[in-house]
Structure 1
Amino acid sequence: MLDIGVNLDHSSYLKDLNAFREQYQQAGVDGIICIASNLEEAQKLVTTCSPYPDMHYTFGSHPHHASTWRDSHTQVLLETFKTDSKAIAVGEMGLDFNRNYSTPDEQIYAFEAQLNIASQANKPVYLHERDAFAELTQRLTQAHLPRQGVIHCFTGDKDQLRAYLDLGLYVGITGWLLDERRNQALVEAVKYLPLDRVMLETDAPYLLPRNIRPRPKRNHPKFLQYIAQGVADVKHVSPEDVINAANHNTRALFF
């Protein structure tokens, strides 16, 4: 299995990376993609992940941090993607009009800058969207990217899913699917999601699958199997079918 969404900056992981890796490897996870939310975090991932062949990362700026985006960052990202084979996608980038930690205008500016970087570097985009579906899909349509990307932590409905699929995107499914308090729309969407577009992610240490017993304190890549099983249950296929498809999709997009 391949986990496309891990927030490696959590202290519980960093204090013993060897133990962290051993735990997810024993659970059948062969590799992880670590998510950068800003350039400072991305540069830390370069140092942290470099000794480990099974750890790759995104490189970019989350919409929450869009106010810190500078034009000079463009050259930093372009140079990184030219020289660093572990930097495999632009992001986590996108639009988040739910919290607006950065203004919509700041978010749009940083988003469009990173779309241009993805086009120049021929890299996929790693997308975040909250309450900004129409704006994000419009700008993706206009971008005409040479490679598409993945919508990270998809929690939307069937109509939104269809629009993302029409854009050529892959779709990241998390433990949200297993949260009976709020998963109804997502369950219906996943029924429609073709296996050749699915990717699996824990978003660890967040979005812990609620069906794990005994209940851990936080999420971990070693729990990726629960998400694979959840997708399999919704789609009435075997978990092996889901895992094989997700592995193929992840390698096709990122590697």
Structure 2
Amino acid sequence: MFDIGVNLTSTQFGKDAQQVVERACAAGVTGILITGTNAQQSEAASHLARQNAGFCWSTAGVHPHDASSWCDDVAQHIHQLAVRQEVVAIGECGLDFNRNFSTPAQQEKAFSDQLALAAELNLPVFLHCREAHARFAALLAPWLDKLPAAVVHCFTGTAEELQGCLALGLSIGITGWVCDERRGLQLRALLPQIPIDRLLLETDAPYLLPRDLHPKPASRRNEPCFLPHIVRQVAAWRGEEPEWLGKKTDENARRLFRLV
């Protein structure tokens, strides 16, 4: 099973990032994609992936929260990172109109420029969309025939938004959000609608610790070693065998990110 979204550069992993990787491996996780969210974190993600070559890879990009940092120097830095062997996608990029840490205009500029960069380098994109589906789809659609693949990371949208993403040809990343009996029930009901070849699984660690995980870690910190729990739960709600689902989603990740 492959975890396509781990924020291993988070300060929450500052003291034990290598042990987190080792625990994931011991738990049966077969690969990790480390998320880059700005220039500095993308650089750090690349270094962590290189230290764990063959098990970890990384993305390089600027998250919509950090879109105000986007400039020519940052774009050049992301470009330089993106040609490294361990960097397999541009992102995390997209739009987030929920809190607007960066203005919508700044987000749209950074998103569009990163789509252009991914097209130039023929790299997949690792996407973020929150409360911005219509504008997100409008900006993304013209680039899709120029991109090798795209995944909407940590999808938490509506049935209509899911169908819109699938119609665009996007893959769907599902996290432990579906394990939340307060917020995740709507998404849980949508799981069977995701074609198996478009489904990817992730923890988004250290965030989104599954609420139905028992016992919970004392730190309340999510880790990729908890991905097997998400696999089991998603498999049950889709009516599939966990081992089969873990294998299929691993294959999907390796195909989408062109891993060897």
In the superposition, the TM-score normalised over structure 2's length comes to 0.93
2:233 is matched with 230
> 1: CA distance between counterparts of 2:157 and 2:132?
11
How far apart, in 2, do the equivalents of 1:115 and 1:75 lie?
Answer: 14
Task: Determine the structure 2 residue equivalent to 1:98.
Answer: 98
Taking the TM superposition and a 5 Å limit, the aligned residue runs for 1:20-169 are 20-53=20-53, 54-82=55-83, 84-144=84-144, 145-169=146-170
TM-score of the superposed pair, with normalisation by structure 1: 0.95
Larger displacement relative to structure 2 (160-169 or 84-93)? 160-169
Match of 1:192? Answer: 193
Offset, 1:12: 4.6
Q: Which runs of 5+ in 2 are unaligned?
A: none
Structure 1 contact 97–104 (Cα < 8 Å) conserved: yes
Q: Which amino acid aligns with 2:196?
A: L
1:16 counterpart residue number: 16
- Matched letter for residue 21 of structure 1: V
CA shift at 1:140, angstroms? 1.1
Identity fraction in percent: 41
Q: Secondary structure at the match of 1:115?
A: helix
Any idea what SS the aligned residue of 1:72 has? helix
Displacement after TM superposition at 1:16 (Å): 2.9
AA paired with 1:72?
A: D
Amino acid at match of 2:162: L
User: Residues of 1 paired with 2:31 and 2:168: CA distance?
Assistant: 27
Please say if 1:241 is aligned against 2:244. Answer: yes
Is residue 133 of structure 2 the alignment partner of residue 171 of structure 1? no
Q: Distance in 2 between matches of 1:95 and 1:85?
A: 27
Q: Is the 8 A contact 1:92 1:126 kept in 2?
A: yes
- Aligned Cα root-mean-square deviation (Å): 1.3
Gaps of 5+ in 1: none
Q: Does the CA-based 8 Å contact 1:154-1:173 persist in structure 2?
A: yes
For residues 192-241 of structure 1, what are the alpha-carbon distances to aligned partners after superposition, in whole Å with 9 as ceiling and x for unaligned?
A: 11111110100011101111111222111000011111211111111122
Question: For residues 68 and 21 of structure 2, what CA distance do their matches in structure 1 show?
Answer: 34
**Per-residue deviation, residues 113-157 of structure 1 (Å, max 9, x unmatched):** 000001001001110111100000111112233312110000112
Q: Is the 8 A contact 2:93 2:126 kept in 1?
A: yes
Deviations 1:80-123 (A, max 9, x none): 323x1111111110000110000000000000000000100100
Q: 1:48 to 1:146 in 2, by over 3 A?
A: closer
CA contact (8 A) 1:60 1:90 kept: yes
The alignment of Structure 1 onto Structure 2 pairs a total of residues equal to 254
Q: Which moved more, 1:221-230 or 1:42-51?
A: 42-51
- CA-to-partner distance for each residue in 1:144-203, whole Å, 9 max, x for gaps? 333121100001122211111111111111000110101122012212111111101000
Q: How does 1:210-229 map to 2 (within 5 A)?
A: 210-216=211-217, 217-229=220-232
